[in-house]
Amino acid sequence: MRFALIAVLALSVVGCTRWSMNHHLNNAYSAYDRGNCEQVMLELSKVERDSRARPYVWPEVSMMRGQCLERQKLYIDAAQTYQFIIASYPQSEYAYRARARLETLQSLGHYPPRATAVARPTQF
């Protein structure tokens, strides 16, 4: 019993980075639901500081950052964030979601579609 009490006190004093990271991520989602993107960005910065050894959370943080940028009508920045997710985490579910957001931005006219490369033969 004494050990459990000491362990709980030690964790509360020192803090567990995973608990702290989850706490800040939950706060970011709550702030996003309230429409407070400034608070979201602050909480996401805290998550990034706590998640240095936990890269599995990075695509989720980037996705939320892109959604906030989109909500603030910073469409080019949001699109670049989505492209970063696709390039950095191509096999994650967030890459799939980022592609969908890019397509939505393009269909709404907020982001120009990529120009496709056209092969032209040289003429002599």
63-105: pLDDT as tens digits: 999 999 999 999 999 999 999 999 999 999 999 999 999 999 9
Using a cut of 0.85, tell me whether the model's pTM lies above it.
no
Residue 2 CA to its chain's centroid (Å): 41
Sheet strands (E) in the chain: none
What are the structure tokens assigned to 86, written together? 């696709």
Calpha distance 107→75 (Å, rounded): 13
CB of 40 closer than 8 Å to CB of 64? yes
Residue 26 CA to its chain's centroid (Å): 13
CB of 68 closer than 8 Å to CB of 87? no
What are the structure tokens assigned to 19, written together? 């608990």
pLDDT band (50, 70, 90) for residue 14 = very low
